[in-house]
Amino acid sequence: MSKPVIADNKPVKVVLEKDVQYYFCACGLSANQPYCDGKHKATDIVPKKFTATESGDAFLCQCKYSANTPYCDGSHKQFPADENLQ
């Protein structure tokens, strides 16, 4: 698998803590969206490690096609509502 599965066609609102390291699911297979649970190991896609620069709400990508992962950039708008959802 070289292309991610679309976990959802809208971003998810999460609360991040400043200076905490997170692992963003880049493959779309995680049952713990938007975070990695290790299911990528069956693919050639790796999670994206990131550290929150501030505490507070953030909207993380779930379509997995954002140019600014892990953050949503609106890329999900290109996909029909039911496309590739796991």
Domain assignment of residue 54, yes or no = yes
Domain assignment of residue 4, yes or no = no
The domain of 39 spans: 12-75
Per-residue pLDDT of the chain (86 residues; tens, 9 = 90+): 788 999 999 999 999 999 999 999 999 999 999 999 999 998 999 999 999 999 999 999 999 999 999 999 988 888 776 655 55
Domain assignment of residue 81, yes or no = no
Domain assignment of residue 59, yes or no = yes
Which residues partner with 51 through β-bridges? 21
Model-level pTM?
Answer: 0.86
Q: SS3 string of the chain?
A: CCCCCECCCCCEEEEECCCCEEEECCCCCCCCCCECCCHHHHCCCCCEEEECCCCEEEEECCCCCCCCCCECCCHHHHCCCCCCEC
Domain count, the chain: 1
Domain assignment of residue 66, yes or no = yes
Q: How far apart are CA 2 and CA 21, in angstroms?
A: 25
Domain assignment of residue 6, yes or no = no
